[in-house]
Amino acid sequence: MEAGVKAAVALALVLGAATAAAQPSQDGGLHVETVSSPSPGSIQVLLSADPKHDKTIGANPKPTDFTMWLGGGAAPNLAIARNGGRGKPLTTVILLDESASYKSGEGARVALPAIFEYGKDAGSDELALVVFSLDVKAFPVHVGPADFMADLQSVGKRKPGQATSVTIGLAAGIALAAKEGEPGLREIVVFTDAGDEADVDKTVWAKIITQAKEAGVRISVVLPTDDKKPRGTKHEFWVTTTTNLNRIVTETAGTYLTSNDPTAIANGLRDARAKVKNWLVLDAKLCGARSNQPVDVRVEYVPGAKREAWSAGTQLAAAAWAPGSDAPCPSLCKTPCDPWAECIAGTCQPRACTSDGACPGGAVCIGGKCDKPCSEACGAWQECKGGACVARTCAGDESCGPGSMCKDGTCTPPKAKSSMLIWLLAGAGALLLIAALFVLLRKKPQPEIIPAPLAPEPLPEAPLVEKAQTAVELDPLPETHLVAMGGWATPGERWRLHKRKTVAGGSDDPADGVDLRFTVKQISGRHAQFELFPSGDLWVSDLGSSNGTFVNGRRLKEKERAKLVVGDQIKLSQNLILVVERPGEGAVDDEPAPAKVEAAAPAEAETPVKKQKPKTKFDPGNR
């Protein structure tokens, strides 16, 4: 049975540690230790900083270097100081178990020496002693250790109680600390073995934890190293007590110690006291809050209007509301910021980013910061800044794109190609097209051959007189081109899709299998894939690119396939615009009806061939 109890306690401790460790992973150098509302209409945050930022903040932090966000606005009347530098004492209430199990066990043997050791160097801090079993005796609060030590010596003469309740002792200790101590400088140290516990309703622990958090009391617990259930204690009471002690320590930023060494205990408590005094305490006026409703809280360190550190978001469970606490928190920026910007220290500043996808509102990511989007794609020698395409800075020609040169640290516009050369190429292309059409039209019908079909699709029906020519003809890949319309490439440049699957990207590694390589840094190594079928169907899919593949303005999801037709526009990132072209597409169909062809004299099969719709130009190597 005790093994099961140990496992339950261990699981509770692990879960508590995991909860405490998950929150800092979202912090950026600052961590909210506790948040409370010490008086109506006020809010107080105790904050710790990592060593780097703690050194920068210094011993005398400035309110202008910090922003406390409450929901969407900034808390007014912000004041900040080191917790131990406010000229007020730390009030420590020692809560000592007087049950029979504790006074006769190992805990009591080490508790008094540890408390003496811890209290002797209290200096001007305040100390008070509370002993508990099923009843409570609270001693006065003393400044310095002398009178406190006298109270501690008198405890040994008291008789132990037959049963005890930690919750009764905690309730008395929280009330005393809240009455005598300063907000942010209140702590309780509980010495117990969690034995001889009376039955406690589950809701009592929840109320005790809420009271501690609302009063801003930090609670630490000291248990003996021996984690066995004390003799005579019901195991379910022991599990409940140890689990909730660990929980209250976690939620009030306290310290959980298990030791039988008085010196180790005293040193652990001293270290915790030093950390508490070094915390930053931020006090502000409550705003944007509703009565008995949680308030979202986060803190930023913004020296010189630059965000250097921040805390993860947390909540004030229930604020001490006052008239005016529900007034909206003021905005630090006079005008609303653009979607890709955020308000920092009174100015709208671009959000940090790693890619265009991290920038809302269609903005682009440039140099790790979001920027206003451009209305159209910029050339390879340009970059988008402030919503306009401007010449990019450069160190050499290789960073400027085709046709552009790096001059005085700036890319120059690419030189236009000779118009005479363009006309010559266009004329030569037209002649080649006419010659190809002439050969196709003069081609005589072939004898009937019936091989097995290459695809599961049935061949289209044709008139009987054309069977000898078309029934067994195998469709090659139709001639299909991607033509540049803007961005990195010169308008009019084209690339033929000459195989079933064509990969486009920027990688020059043969292992990546890139067929169309574009040397633009915004295009991923394997950016997109085009799939062309004998039927003429053309598809495009995104291969997980960083800056996206767009079809007619719509961005494809990763691995999503979209069907293309002639005239569709494909954009690879924001720097290359392509359009689908297919020679002969859309020609008028002048093929006669089957009945009229059958009525003609079948002496020559050449007549229907001449009346066929002109075929698309094919690549002989693509069968």
The secondary structure of residue 87, as a DSSP letter, is: S
Q: 360 and 488 share a domain?
A: no
Q: 351 and 387 share a domain?
A: no
**Alpha carbons 571 and 553: distance in angstroms, whole number:** 8
Q: 124 and 216 share a domain?
A: yes
The predicted pLDDT at position 404 comes to 84
Reported in sequence order, the residue ranges of 121-205 that DSSP labels E, i.e. its strands, are 126-132, 136-138, 142-143, 186-191
Helix segments in 400-517, DSSP class H: 419-442, 467-470
Residue 552 lies in a domain: yes
Which of 339-348, 571-580, 582-591 has the lowest average pLDDT?
A: 582-591
The predicted pLDDT at position 227 comes to 57
Name the phi and psi angles at 183, rounded to 5: -50, 130
| Mean pLDDT, rounded, for 193-206 | 79
Helix segments in 443-484, DSSP class H: 467-470
The predicted pLDDT at position 52 comes to 93
Neighbours of 577 (CB within 10 A): 20
**Alpha carbons 536 and 529: distance in angstroms, whole number:** 16
Read off the CATH number of the domain in which 211 is found.
3.40.50.410
pLDDT digits (tens, 9 = 90+) for 35-78: 988 888 899 999 999 999 999 999 999 999 999 988 778 899 99
Q: 218 and 157 share a domain?
A: yes
The predicted pLDDT at position 518 comes to 86
Q: Write the CA distances from 377 to 102, 203, 386, 506, integer angstroms.
A: 76, 62, 14, 18
Name which of 547, 514, 126 is nearest 354 in CA terms.
Answer: 547
Residue 585: pLDDT above 80? Answer: no
CB 543 within 8 A of CB 525: no
The predicted pLDDT at position 229 comes to 64
The predicted pLDDT at position 375 comes to 65
Name the phi and psi angles at 265, rounded to 5: -65, -50
The predicted pLDDT at position 575 comes to 84
**Alpha carbons 445 and 466: distance in angstroms, whole number:** 9
Instruction: With cut-offs at 50, 70 and 90, classify the pLDDT of residue 450.
Output: very low
The secondary structure of residue 187, as a DSSP letter, is: E
Residue 569 lies in a domain: yes
Packed helices 202-215 and 235-251: angle between N→C axes, nearest 10 degrees: 20
Cβ-proximal residues to 29 (8 Å cutoff; 6+ apart), any chain: 49, 50, 52, 53, 301, 308, 309, 310
pLDDT above 70 covers a percentage of the chain that reads 81
Helix (H, G, I), strand (E, B) or coil at 507: coil
Read off the CATH number of the domain in which 527 is found.
2.60.200.20
| Mean pLDDT, rounded, for 348-354 | 83
Number of domains within the chain: 5
Q: 149 and 272 share a domain?
A: yes
Name which of 526, 551, 522 is nearest 539 in CA terms.
Answer: 551
Q: 369 and 390 share a domain?
A: no
Could you please report the per-residue DSSP string of 316-376?
A: ESS----TTTTSPPPPSSSSPPPTTEEEETTEEEEPB-SSGGGSGGG-EEETTEEEPPPSS
Residue 70 bridge partners (DSSP): 73, 297
Residue 433: pLDDT above 90? Answer: no
The predicted pLDDT at position 445 comes to 53
Instruction: With cut-offs at 50, 70 and 90, classify the pLDDT of residue 443.
Output: low
**Alpha carbons 75 and 329: distance in angstroms, whole number:** 6
pLDDT digits (tens, 9 = 90+) for 203-223: 898 999 989 988 889 999 999
The predicted pLDDT at position 100 comes to 83
CB 269 within 8 A of CB 117: no
Q: 174 and 97 share a domain?
A: yes
Q: 410 and 494 share a domain?
A: no
Q: 156 and 243 share a domain?
A: yes
The predicted pLDDT at position 461 comes to 44
Residue 200 lies in a domain: yes
The predicted pLDDT at position 11 comes to 34
Name the phi and psi angles at 486, rounded to 5: 175, 175
- Which residue range forms the structural domain that includes residue 31? 27-75+286-316
The predicted pLDDT at position 550 comes to 93
Helix (H, G, I), strand (E, B) or coil at 123: coil
Q: 390 and 500 share a domain?
A: no
Residue 33 lies in a domain: yes
Q: Give residue 514's Cα distance to chain centre.
A: 32
Residue 150 lies in a domain: yes
Residue 389 bridge partners (DSSP): 384
Q: 43 and 155 share a domain?
A: no
Residue 425 lies in a domain: no
Q: In terms of DSSP bridges, do strands 569-572 and 549-551 run parallel, antiparallel, or are they unpaired?
A: antiparallel
Which of 119-123, 192-196, 423-427, 566-570 has the lowest average pLDDT?
A: 423-427
Residue 463 lies in a domain: no
Q: Write the CA distances from 592 to 441, 462, 587, 600, integer angstroms.
A: 16, 12, 15, 11
Q: 342 and 398 share a domain?
A: no
Cβ-proximal residues to 150 (8 Å cutoff; 6+ apart), any chain: none
Instruction: With cut-offs at 50, 70 and 90, classify the pLDDT of residue 588.
Output: very low
Residue 621 lies in a domain: no
Q: In terms of DSSP bridges, do strands 341-344 and 347-350 run parallel, antiparallel, or are they unpaired?
A: antiparallel
